[in-house]
Structure 1
Amino acid sequence: ASEPPPPPPPTGIVGGVPASETYTFMASLQDLSGNHSCGGSLVAARWVVTAEHCGTPARVRVGTTTYNSGGEVHLVASRQALDGDIALLQLATPAISKPVPIAAGAPVGSATRIIGWGQTCPTQGCGGLPVGLRQLDTSIIADESCSDITGETELCVQGGGGKGACYGDSGGPAVTGGPGSWQLAGATSRGTAASCGVSPAIYTDVTAYRAQILQIIGSGAAARR
């Protein structure tokens, strides 16, 4: 019999480390059985920003570093897709976890942190998802480094050397700032290669949709004015 494949490495995203804090705004998009499919960001008590390609989940869990326990769970009432790989999920009941403000901009050179429960090994289906949340510090780089990017509404985020977002991280946040002052800059959209962590990744530039999002979610917004 052939040898079983080696287990995925213990560090996550790909090349990341365990979450250093409870990101109160971090959302896990799930089916009714609690299976994680995508990430998202709580931007107001009843609103989560995610990637449009993640579809409509049955529920979200927020306010915990483990997608299968802790925090709070809310059913999804509706979804509003915007023009691009970005959508807003409206929760059936308001969350009490602290939302994340949307940054006013995300210029090239900005330090950013990506967060998610995505695969820790680089090819699709190579292993299960980590239960514990992972993070990776990286930066926003010039659009020219990402093929097929839409510069006005997307960000190119540094990756490679075995580090980057992976399958299951879609929709999750790229944040700027620091503990106590995180701001949402991007939402994980897609890679620029079939394997994770070998090249930069493309994120929806949430800051480009800031005014539209604020208009939709109204006075419940966390975003700074």
Structure 2
Amino acid sequence: MHECISLLWSLDGANGKRGQAFIFYYSLLLQLLLLLMLLLLAAATSPKAMSKSSLKLYWLLLCLFTSQAQAWHDETYADEPAADEEQLLVQFQLGYEQWERQCEPYEKQAEPAVSTRIARGQLAEPGMFPFQAGLLLQLRNGSYRQCGGSLISLSFVLTAAHCLKDVASGVVYLGSNNYAVAATAAERFEVQTQQFIIYPGYLGFGGYNDLALIQLPKQAQRTAKVQPIRLAQRFMRQSYLQGQLVSSAGWGALGDGKAERQSLEPTAEDNLLHYVDVQVMEQQRCICYFLPGLVSAHRHICTDGRGGRGACDGDSGGPLVYQWRNVSYLIGLTTFGTAEGCELNGPTVYTRLTAYLEWISAEMGLHVH
């Protein structure tokens, strides 16, 4: 986009060419944006329709449009130096071809889709996750959103940035296995937007840089039911964690098709904290499961969803926990999963905490190892 706008305003204005160039390139840009919007709409409404052939079609059309632009530009401005669109196109094509080659071994397992979403888990014992926070968030339109979080100090809760999007206020519940029940919570805090610290690199959508801090209005009291969790150690990276057993916890839907039933006919168990033990999966396999660019090699960590186990609707922002030497460490927070369902063997994607330790420590004044 920046390249296109720069090109528009760098054209020579002599002989009325600026107006012609502006109309031509503006029309071209609109066509590309429309095509991209259709592509994203297809991904949101029918993920299976977003196959490799669809991506190749977009790449070919992009090449065609850019070739038309280059031909027109060369004909009209034969005395001007050629722009570097060709080099940019080559980079795009090489990037896609590299993704295609890397993902070829996983092609049969690939099932591209995406959405924010503990299915087939177990009921947590009281005090099992003393750092678990329940977030009841009121949106600006008056509706409510359910999310999870982790108490990482007596003053801060860590959650997903997308949980706080369009939020006007909220309530944080600590020290209870019940979701958003004041009578059973050890502590309850009302929070406002000025207490939200969104990671500055979060774009407002998608799963990149999807983390945020909530500063509590006063310190929580440390008890057997309320205890902060330690942040991941620097060595807890992909090469170390791959294949390790980790735990994800939350108050979300207990499986596909159960979110609506839970809201209409909730049972006592629906409102209780559940967890699931899953393995950290190979990062390249996770990257290839989704569309190119959705999963980062360094900023995400994925758990294997085989057996229909993983996070589900309402678990966003909740903790991914690794036990090392009998101590719990927060290694990730729930970001997104497959749009088609929680029990369809797809990975759950989490924000990888080791990629953000410096930012968290700077905002909280913590010493991070």
TM interval, shorter chain, is: 0.7 to 0.9
Counterpart of 1:79, as a letter, is F
CA contact (8 A) 2:126 2:176 kept: no
Q: Give a deviation string over 1:160-197, Cα, whole Å, max 9, x none.
A: 32211100000000000069611101100000342012
| Structure 1 residue runs without a partner (length 5+) | 1-12
The 1:179/1:121 distance shift into structure 2, 3 A limit, reads: farther
Other-structure match for 1:209:
356
Other-structure match for 1:16:
121
Q: Percent identity of the aligned residues?
A: 31
Of 200, 206, 218, which residue of structure 2 is paired with 1:93? 218
Secondary structure of the 1:64 match is: coil
Work out the CA distance in 2 between the residues paired with 1:120 and 1:186.
20
The 1:73/1:179 distance shift into structure 2, 3 A limit, reads: farther
The 1:207/1:141 distance shift into structure 2, 3 A limit, reads: same
Other-structure match for 1:126:
260
CA contact (8 A) 1:119 1:127 kept: no
**Stretches (4+) displaced over 4 A:** none
Q: Give a deviation string over 1:108-150, Cα, whole Å, max 9, x none.
A: 2222100000001214743326211001001211122222211
CA contact (8 A) 2:249 2:319 kept: yes
> Is 1:144 aligned to 2:284, yes or no?
yes
The 1:139/1:24 distance shift into structure 2, 3 A limit, reads: same
Tell me the TM-score normalised to structure 1 length. 0.85
Other-structure match for 2:232:
103
Secondary structure of the 2:261 match is: coil
Structure with bigger strand share is 1
Other-structure match for 1:79:
196
CA contact (8 A) 2:172 2:188 kept: yes
**C-alpha RMSD of the superposition:** 2.2
> Is 1:59 aligned to 2:174, yes or no?
no
CA contact (8 A) 1:28 1:36 kept: no
| Higher relative contact order, chain-length normalized (CA < 8 Å, sep 6+) | 1
Counterpart of 2:356, as a letter, is Y
| Structure 2 residue runs without a partner (length 5+) | 1-117, 139-143, 202-208, 264-269
Secondary structure of the 2:355 match is: helix
Tell me the TM-score normalised to structure 2 length. 0.53
Counterpart of 1:93, as a letter, is K
When structure 1 is superposed on structure 2, of 144-153 and 195-204 the one drifting more is 144-153
Work out the CA distance in 2 between the residues paired with 1:75 and 1:179.
35
Counterpart of 1:44, as a letter, is S
Other-structure match for 1:5:
none
The 1:120/1:134 distance shift into structure 2, 3 A limit, reads: same
How many residues are aligned here? 209
Structure with bigger helix share is 2
What is the deviation of 1:98?
1.1
Of 38, 44, 52, which residue of structure 1 is paired with 2:147? 38
Q: Give a deviation string over 1:58-111, Cα, whole Å, max 9, x none.
A: 110011111223221112241111131111111111112210011112432222
